[in-house]
Structures are given as C-alpha cells and as structure tokens.
Chains A and B, each alone.
Chain A
Amino acid sequence: MSDVMIEAQGLSKNYGSFAALKDVNFEVRRGEVVGFLGPNGAGKTTTMKILTCFIAPTSGSAKVAGCDVFDDPMGVRKAIGYLPESTPLYTEMLVLEYLEFVAKMRGYKGVDARKRIKKAVEQTSLGDVIAKEIRALSKGYKQRVGLAQALVHEPDVLILDEPMSGLDPNQAAEIRGLITEIGEQRTVILSTHDLGEIQQTCDRVLIINRGKLVADDTPEELRDRVGGSKFRVTVQGGRSDSSKIRDIFGKIDGVHSIRERASESDSGELLFVVSPSKSEDLREEIFRAAVKNDLVLLGLRRDADGLQNVFRELTTGEGGSLPAKKSAKKSTPVKEEE
C-alpha cells in the first residue's frame, strides 16, 4: 500500500445551489496528524462526510487507504474509524453493549471481539463506566466512548469531527494525549476551532474557508507567512533606557523588527515585541543578549497567537488568499517542536 492514506482530488459538493465545497485537493500520509481548521460552515464536516462515504461528492474523487469512495465504500469504511460531530451514540445502551455492537458490526466475534473491546477500553480509560448507560455519562466520557467505538478495529485512518468541542480543559488534555498517542502509528484527521489544539497535536494544518482550501502547511510554516511568531520581552528599566535596549535586541541575528509597547509610566518595566524574520526560536539569543548587556530580564514569552493571525487572515474576506505559498503540496510532515 502506498504511503498516501487520504487523497482528495477536486472535491466539490453542492447542496442545491449552495456550494459547500469547491475543488478541494489534499493528501494525508501514513502517520500524520492533520488538523482541519476553518470557521463554522466552511466545509470541514462536509469533507469528512465525503471521506467516510456518508455522502457523495458532486464532483471530484477521494481515496482512503487506497479505496475509492465511489467504487469501494465498504473498503473505505473498513479502513476508517469515525467520530462524527457531537458524538452521536445509542444513549440507551450500556457502554460495553454498545462497543460489542460495533465490534459485531465490524465482523469480530467471541474472544477476538472481547480482546479488541478490552484494548479500546484501556486506551480510552473507560474501565470505570463500562457497565453504565451511555446517557448517564458526562460529555468527556461520551467523547471517549465515541473514540473507543472508532478504535475497536484498529483502523489505519481515524477521522474525528471536533473531538474536543465542549470538553473542559482537563478532559480536552486527556483526549489530546490520546490522539497524539494514536497518531504515532496511524493517520489522524481531526477538525477543530481551537488553534491551540492544532498547534499541540497536529503535524500539518489544512485551513478551509467557504468551501475552499486556503492553506496546507505545518503550523510553523503557516506562522512564518504572517511574519512568524513574536516574542514578548519585558526588561527592567525606565523610559530613558528604551532606545539603548532596542539597539541591543536589534543586533541579534534573525530579528526583523522591534516594537515597544506602551507601558505604564515609570513602572520600571519596558515591554518589547520582537518579530523574527523567519520562524525561529530566538528566546535563547534574546536571553544571552540581555545577560551580555547586563539587562534584567523580567519576562520572555513566545507569542502563541501566531496561528490565530493566520487563521483570521485566511478566513475573513472573500475566499481568502495565500501569501507566498511555497509548495502546492507539502509532503514530509515536520514534527513541531514546542
């Protein structure tokens, strides 16, 4: 089997006269965790429904694990684990009963089925609630049942539609950890609104807006396009030191520009926003420069909303545009180091 696990070519979908997807192309390789990002109604769910063969594209084609969604929907369904948006489950069933049903539907019986269910339950830490009715579970547990259901057959491809929505931060962190763990061996494609989520879990980001794919890159590279991430540096000092400090940081290699943020007068602190020319982690250089020049560094933080800017830029206004798109299809996933 080739390395490409998901391949979408010219996917379009019209609902009546409304074009939900317009000529979407992308590839996802084995072992990649890809985040699908976009505002509500951009076409994320539609794309996922097409990839899972729930609906058919109006034009274009898609292959999942080598199976065409038109020619071999059964092959596609066998290869995927799918968690639809808002985690629809048979809430009147017990957790175990439900997982048994799914295993049976996937053709597993007896000992094999029990082993697989046991593994999925362990992976999702559902052991405590296995004999409970699904409707009695909290949102986080329901989400885990949804994940367990998608994992029973150890699929090559996992498609998760907003797996983290509505979870509290602790629950989200758990699910995130789980996804990262699963993503080490399998292909995961997940949609979300949460940019922090993407930065932490995904190797690559697809941004979709009004049915069009407007970006396909690693989170790092996307940040690059809007000038990369910025660094907020707080230094002890008064007004008079301002230009001197600016010079010191300005000499650091890779610094593009420095802005001073207006701080409260005479608080003894100065805040600078340092923009690098490329997406580079300059924290060490900034620290060393400060030490060398005997500056008291009170704070040094990498600005997290780099992606947010990209998102805003690409998804507001008609269609959105790509500033300096480098390669049409970024192939090798670059693991993001944070």
Chain B
Amino acid sequence: MQSALTIAGRQFRSYFNGPIAFIVLIFSLVLLGVFFFWWPNAFFIRGRVSVRELFSIIHYTNYLTIPALTMGLIADERASGTLETLLTLPVRDADVVLGKFLGTLGLYTIFLALTLPYPFAINTLGTLDWGPVFTGYLGLFFQGSALIGVGLMASSFTRTQLVALFAGWAIAIVFAAVDLFLPLVPAGLTTPLEFISFDYHLTDFRRGVIAIRDILFFLSVTAIALMVAFRSLESRRWK
C-alpha cells in the first residue's frame, strides 16, 4: 500500500510537471462555463437556484476529459521504457495500477474542488439546498473514479497514448450514450441496459439521495476496470 501511495504521489506531481493537467483542467472549466451560462439553456434564463444542471454538465464533460487524463498512465510509461524501471522495483503490479489510479483520482478531486465557486455563486442568488450539492459531488466523485478506471484500463492495452485516448472514449461513450438508445430497444432489454447508464445512476445523487445501489455500481465498474488493467499489465510476463 505504501508503494501505491508513493506511485500515486509521483503521478499526481508529474501531471503538473507537464502541460496535460493544466490543459485538461482549463478546458474542462471553460467547457463547464460555456454550457452552464449560455448553451443550451442559460442559467439566467432558467432562473432557478439549483445545481442539478451544473452536475449534469460536469458529468458529460467528464466523458470527454477523463480519458485525456488517463491516456498516458501506462501507455506512456510503456513507450518510454520507464515501465520497466518501475516494475523491477520491489513493487507489486497491483500497487502500480492502484497508485496510478489514486494519482489521477487526486487530480480529478482538484478539478471538482475548482468547480466549487459555482454552488457558492448560485447560493448568493437565493437559498441553495446544500444537501444535493454534497450528494451531487459524491456522485460525480464515484462517476469520475469509474471513468478513471476505464481510462486506465484503456491505457494498459497499448503503448500509444492516442490509441488509449480513443479506446477510453469508445468505452466511455457506451456508458454515456446508452440512455439515448433505450427507446429503440425491445422492452425486455430496457432495464438491463438502463442499469449500465452512468446518468441513470447519478439521478438519485443529484436529487440528494445516496443509494447504496448506485455507489456499488460505480465501485464495481472501477474494480472491474482496474482488475482488467492489472491483468493486462501482468500479461507482459507471459507474452
């Protein structure tokens, strides 16, 4: 566990040694601003003191931005060869995967913290119900961690960051867009398909409800993705 935390710390710092973290953070915040204030329905026209739209927007931008944060996690180390230096230290492969995951989760938490001015600003315009703010953030935290897991898994398959990015997006879009296809599928499939939709599991969180079922869903996706990443990292030994 100590090694995992050391790796997480190094990963977190290395984000800020290069441009990627800054680009992604700024891009996410700009995107959030654009969607929140102007398009498709502007905050001031809505005229409601609510964070629901805010959380909905962040949940969508996450699909776009998180794979960009995770694309290099393993792919880049593989391409530059540092994976070999890292994995020949006395460290378990599982700790490497966990460390990389936690490092990115740390950066994502910073991003969430940077959006805090929104609820505070909204609060000045009326009385904001802080319960859903808390649960909304909790939901986004879990959704983010699931996406980081998925992105890390994509990064573990390849040595090319761009491939990892597109693979990450490809998997993320399944979780993101499955909602849109629900009207088209036979009735029997609606429920199981709806169950893998991230948005579906975030609905309760946005309403101010913490449902164990939703937490378990996101944790399961995270765990499965990390497990696959671990196996994929380990497979180098037998190839």
- Whether both chains belong to one complex is answered with yes
Query: Which residues on the B side are within 8 Å of A107 (C-beta)?
Result: 2, 90
CA of A54 to CA of B234, assembled, Å: 9
Closest Cβ–Cβ distance, residue B114 to chain A (whole Å): 23
**Chain A: CB-nearest residue to B10:** A101
A88 touches B81 (CB 8 A): yes
Residue of B2, B80, B81, B89 contacting most chain A CB atoms (<10 Å): B89
Residue in contact with A54 in the complex, picked from B7, B18, B80, B84, CB distance below 8 Å: B84
* Residues of chain B at interface, number, CB under 8 A: 24
Question: In the complex where A92-B17, A105-B3 touch, is A78 in contact with B85 (Cβ < 8 A)?
Answer: no
A102 and B89 contact, Cβ closer than 8 Å, known pairs A84-B81, A88-B84? yes
Find chain B residues with CB under 8 A from A201 CB. none
Contact A104 B6 (CB under 8 A): yes
Residue of B nearest to A84 (CB): B84
Nearest CB of chain B from residue A207's CB, rounded to whole Å: 24
Q: Is B237 an interface residue (CB 8 A)?
A: yes
With A88-B82, A92-B14, A104-B6: A77-B88 Cβ-Cβ less than 8 Å? yes
Return chain A residues, CB-CB under 8 Å to B83.
88
Q: B90 touches which one: A49, A54, A74, A84 (CB < 8 A)?
A: A74
CB pair B89 A106 closer than 8 Å:
yes
Measured between beta carbons, the chain B residues less than 8 angstroms from A92 are: 14, 17-18
Interface residues in A, total, Cβ within 8 A: 28
With both chains docked as a complex, state the minimum distance between the C-beta of A65 and any C-beta of chain B, in angstroms.
Answer: 12
List 9 other contacts, CB 8 Å, given A54-B88, A93-B14.
A54-B84, A77-B88, A77-B90, A88-B80, A90-B10, A104-B6, A105-B91, A106-B89, A106-B90
18 pairs from A and B in contact (CB 8 Å cutoff): A53-B88, A54-B87, A54-B236, A55-B236, A77-B88, A77-B91, A80-B88, A82-B85, A84-B88, A88-B83, A90-B10, A92-B17, A93-B10, A93-B17, A104-B6, A105-B90, A106-B89, A107-B2
Which residues of B (202-239) have their CB < 8 Å from a CB of A?
236-239
Q: Count of A-B contacts with CB under 8 A?
A: 64
Task: From the candidates B82, B87, B88, B90, name the one contacting A90 in the complex (CB within 8 A).
Answer: B82
Nearest A residue to B18 via CB reads A92
Within 8 A of A (CB), among B55-83: 80-83
Instruction: Identify which of residues 160-205 in chain B touch chain A, using a CB-to-CB cut-off of 8 Å.
Output: none
Residues of chain B within 8 A (CB-CB) of A101 are 6, 10
B10-51 with Cβ < 8 A to chain A: 10, 14, 17-18
- B85–A105 CB distance below 8 A: no
Complex alpha-carbon distance, A15 and B235, angstroms: 13
**Beta-carbon contacts under 8 Å, A88-112 to B:** 88-93, 101-102, 104-107
Q: How far is A92 from B80 in the complex, measured between Cα atoms in Å?
A: 12
B88 touches A52 (CB 8 A): yes
Give the residue name and chain of the B residue nearest to A58 (CB). B238
Do A149 and B85 touch across chains, with their CB atoms under 8 A apart? yes
- Expressed in whole angstroms, the minimum distance between the Cβ of B93 and any Cβ of chain A is 10
In this complex, what residue of B is CB-closest to A79?
A: B90
| Nearest A residue to B86, CB-CB | A105
Residue in A closest to B236 when the chains form the complex, CB atoms = A55
Query: Which A residue sits closest to B17, measured CB to CB?
Result: A92
Which residue of chain A has its CB nearest to the CB of B238? A56
User: How distant is B83 from chain A, measured CB to nearest CB, in Å?
Assistant: 8
A288 to B56, CA, bound (A): 95
* A35-67 residues at the B interface, CB under 8 angstroms: 49, 52-56
Residues of A within 8 A of B238 (CB): 55-56
The answer to whether the Cβ of A86 comes within 8 Å of any Cβ in the partner chain is: yes
Chain A proximity of B5: nearest CB distance (Å): 9
Q: Which of A55, A78, A91, A105 has the most CB of B within 10 A?
A: A105
B93-120 interface (Cβ within 8 A of A)? none
Contacts of B92 in A (CB 8 A): 74
Nearest chain A CB to B9 CB, angstrom units: 8
CA distance A93 to B80 in the complex (A): 14
Q: How far is the CA of A214 from the CA of B2 in the complex (A)?
A: 44
